[in-house]
Amino acid sequence: MSLDPILERLNAAQRAAVTAPLGPVLVLAGAGSGKTRVLTHRIAWLIQAEGVSPHAILAVTFTNKAAGEMRARVESLLGMPPGVLWIGTFHGIAHRLLRRHWHEAGLVESFQIIDSEDQQRLIKKLIKAQQLDETRWVPREVQWFINSNKDEGRRSKHLKAGNDPIRAQMIRLYALYEDACARSGVVDFGELLLRAFEVWRDQPALLEHYRQRFRHVLVDEFQDTNTIQYAWLKLLAGADGCPFVVGDDDQSVYRFRGARVENLQQFGRDFPAVKLFRLEQNYRSTGAILAAANGLIANNAGRLGKTLWTSGEQGEPIRLYAAFNERDEAEFVCQRIRDHVAHGGLHRDVAVLYRSNAQSRVFEEIFLAARMPYRVYGGLRFFERAEIKDALAYLRLIANRRDDASFERVVNLPTRGIGAKSLETIRAAARDAACPLWAAARACLGDALGPKASEALRGFLELIERLADEVKGLALHEQVDRMLTVSGLIEFHKRDKADRGEARVENLEELVSAARGFNADALETDLPPLEAFLAHVTLESGEGQADAWEDCVQMMTLHTAKGLEFPIVFLCGMEDGLFPHQRSIGDLDGLEEERRLCYVGMTRAMKQLYLTYAEQRRLHGIDSYSQPSRFIKEAPEELIEEIRPRLQVSRPVASGRFAREPSHEAVPVRRALSASRSLRSEPPPMPGMRLGARVRHGKFGEGVILNLEGSGPQARVQVNFERQGTKWLVMQYANLEPL
């Protein structure tokens, strides 16, 4: 078979890396130079030119989305599916291993993964049970203590308190937490990695098996590996493995989660035979964007040093917009996207990037009002909504009765008369017998609880047993559907007359659709469908919520944007205190990490890059007046063009709607980082159709608009009608009349 499809469209340096002789390889190169491309092509090369079996290849990417894309790319290069090849995130792969070797890893077969919110709740409970003051022993801090130790490979038994009583208490809480997890049969994200490491370290035969099997390990975004991930990798590669890692020290942005950019240098020391490749040509961005990003990152000290150039055009200057406030900023972005679409562009060409999740809200509001389709990656995700978590807790309990967190969540939901006191009795019994709540609850029936509580509890236990029995053999979505009905959850939310009730029922129904669409094979374990689905939900919640091919504006934090590229990028909230973050300003390492994050953001842009900041911003309910981000001044001045609004704009009127379309013009002003301006906005696309507006419907009567979604003939509107409750309607047919 010809190797041409693999090697064509690679430059000489890329080709050298792709075809390097078998052995350890490090590709160290800047943004957009084709590292991910090289890694993908290397996989195809190994299979086709080196005759390596796909069975022997393990590829680690940073997100599940990236893993999916990589699989598709390898498939198109090979012209056939790569079959048994393992591609996934560190967490996904660790999970897969632990499912296979739960016994060796000291886990229960039906172990469940808990996300960080569940973890925090569990820790909170432990703190309470110890009768510690929660204001002193802040659950989030205890969680951080536990997770950062796990990331470093340390269990509670490895830690020494010395003469430090605070540390001694932290260590005790860590130990209690480990016990509680073991009792409930749950593992958190950090535990997945640590266990996967330990099971190999402690079982030489198992490690040998995997060393023989995965002779080829490839890692993308290597600069963001933490201690335990790297230790795991090193174990697997052994002395004569062929790890192939690609990374960029300038894009290391997960220090706060224990990432160690030093691993790049460590790799060279641990694998002395390493072949180093550097890629210097950037294929992604225009000359102006690249020069601005290079200028910025040059302010960091202690870099490994790389050159990046492009043969592409210089392109348009970087545009800078100083907004009056955060709404003005969002409106400016919205208007620019409209212009782009009006000129035949697509919404999905555009990414709006920000430092913190909370910044998305104002953009969402403005985009909704403008009926601009968008998707937020991250933030409150479908699987994180309360009603969905309740339903998942039922499913988890059906799969694993030892899951204490799930037991607590639903034992009295819907309310069935199991009060706080009964629950406390069950907890105490579980503590005394060191057993799961489920078993303790059984033991408490009759004697320990009053007759009424006993009856209610018996009902609950029987309900779960009956459900577990009934759903056996049903298709996954039927299992979910049955659970929703039998548990009473649907009924419970239907009875809830507040606005949210119906939306919650809709979300629960959406969960049935999610189950129907779920492909258990994607997880590539032998788990039964329900367990596979639960694992998938926890591992991948948030990702893939948006169909990448739907035409909508892409909104995400800078961290989430790593590795991606977009024709047009807006970097918003470029203010000192917000970006760089207040916490990092006084700390040199922290500031450098923020600068790398800014570099990541800028280098996502292919054709156009906008930087925006607000002179006044309300965030978390507090107004602040900030200086423009120092990062703006660090990019070469001549590359930046400031956009100023025309000055004679109208004043806002009381209704919150405004008289004229905004207009902005570019002025060749350099570095005049302040300008007088006034508030601007624009009318929503259909008069009167905006959030909060009152409308009348021929059949349903009067109501208030809660939500607007989509555009064109598909635009949908959610209205809370006074008599009929909340409904979604298609704008085109609804004939709503503004009041």
C-alpha span between 98 and 698 (Å, rounded) = 58
285 part of the interface to ligand ATP, by CB under 6 A: no
Q: Given the structure tokens 């900041």, which residue do they identify? A: 613
601 part of the interface to ligand ATP, by CB under 6 A: no
34 part of the interface to Mg ion, by CB under 5 A: no
Contact segment (CB under 5 A) with Mg ion among 286-294, 558-566, 585-593, 717-725 equals 558-566
Residue in 26, 31, 59, 736 binding ligand ATP, rule: CB under 6 A: 31
Orientation of helix 165-184 relative to helix 139-151, angle to 10°: 80
Residue in 6, 10, 46, 457 binding ligand ATP, rule: CB under 6 A: 10
H-type alpha helices, 238-271: 263-270
14 part of the interface to ligand ATP, by CB under 6 A: yes
Q: Considering the candidates 69, 220, 328, 408, report the single residue annotated as catalytic.
A: 220
DSSP letters, 278-316, are EE-B--SS-HHHHHHHHHHHTT-SS------B-SS---S
563 part of the interface to Mg ion, by CB under 5 A: yes
C-alpha span between 657 and 220 (Å, rounded) = 48
| Chain centroid to CA 39 | 23
Contact segment (CB under 6 A) with ligand ATP among 3-11, 257-265, 288-296, 591-599 equals 3-11
36 part of the interface to Mg ion, by CB under 5 A: yes
Q: Given the structure tokens 């205890």, which residue do they identify? A: 142
C-alpha span between 189 and 176 (Å, rounded) = 18
Q: How many CB atoms lie within 10 A of CB 216?
A: 24
H-type alpha helices, 411-564: 420-433, 437-444, 451-471, 476-486, 489-495, 500-517, 529-540
32 part of the interface to ligand ATP, by CB under 6 A: yes
Smallest gap from Cβ 35 to ligand ATP, in A, equals 3
Smallest gap from Cβ 603 to ligand ATP, in A, equals 6
603 part of the interface to Mg ion, by CB under 5 A: no
Q: Is the dihedral of CA 324, 329, 330, 332 positive or negative?
A: positive
Q: Considering the candidates 229, 251, 554, 718, report the single residue annotated as catalytic.
A: 251
Smallest gap from Cβ 37 to Mg ion, in A, equals 8
Contacts of 33 (CB under 8 A, 6+ apart): 279, 280, 281, 282, 283, 308
Site for ligand ATP in 307-326 (CB under 6 A): none
Contact segment (CB under 5 A) with Mg ion among 192-200, 285-293, 561-569, 668-676 equals 561-569
Contact segment (CB under 6 A) with ligand ATP among 8-16, 328-336, 566-574, 625-633 equals 8-16
Which segments of 52-207 are extended strands (E)?
57-61, 86-89, 112-113, 186-187
Active-site residue flag, 284? no
Q: Considering the candidates 195, 234, 396, 604, report the single residue annotated as catalytic.
A: 604
30 part of the interface to Mg ion, by CB under 5 A: no
Residue in 101, 284, 348, 355 binding ligand ATP, rule: CB under 6 A: 284
Q: Which helix (H) or strand (E) holds 229?
A: helix 227-237
Tokens describing residue 183: 């009792």
249 part of the interface to ligand ATP, by CB under 6 A: no
DSSP letters, 343-383, are TT--GGGEEEEESSGGGHHHHHHHHHHTT--EEE-SSS-GG
Q: Considering the candidates 14, 35, 65, 198, report the single residue annotated as catalytic.
A: 35
Residue in 36, 335, 554, 560 binding ligand ATP, rule: CB under 6 A: 36
711 part of the interface to Mg ion, by CB under 5 A: no
32 part of the interface to Mg ion, by CB under 5 A: no
Active-site residue flag, 35? yes
Q: Which does 634 bind (CB under 5 to 8 A by kind): Mg ion, ligand ATP, none?
A: none
C-alpha span between 187 and 179 (Å, rounded) = 11
Angstrom distances, CA of residue 22 to CA of 3, 46, 241, 449: 17, 9, 9, 67
Q: Are strands 25-29 and 244-247 parallel, antiparallel or unpaired?
A: parallel
Residue in 25, 37, 341, 460 binding ligand ATP, rule: CB under 6 A: 37
Q: Are strands 244-247 and 350-354 parallel, antiparallel or unpaired?
A: unpaired
Q: Which helix (H) or strand (E) holds 6?
A: helix 4-7
Contact segment (CB under 6 A) with ligand ATP among 31-39, 102-110, 187-195, 512-520 equals 31-39
For ligand ATP, give the closer residue by CB, 258 or 563. 563
Site for ligand ATP in 374-403 (CB under 6 A): none
Active-site residue flag, 338? no
Q: Which does 245 bind (CB under 5 to 8 A by kind): ligand ATP, Mg ion, none?
A: none
C-alpha span between 684 and 81 (Å, rounded) = 48
Smallest gap from Cβ 563 to Mg ion, in A, equals 4
Counting Cα atoms < 13 Å in the Cβ hemisphere of 652 gives 11
Contact segment (CB under 6 A) with ligand ATP among 26-34, 187-195, 431-439, 511-519 equals 26-34
306 part of the interface to ligand ATP, by CB under 6 A: no
Active-site residue flag, 604? yes
For ligand ATP, give the closer residue by CB, 457 or 605. 605
**Residues in contact with ligand ATP by the rule CB under 6 A:** 9-11, 14, 29, 31-37, 248, 251, 283-284, 563, 565, 603
Catalytic residues: 35-36, 220-221, 251, 604
**Residues in contact with Mg ion by the rule CB under 5 A:** 35-36, 563
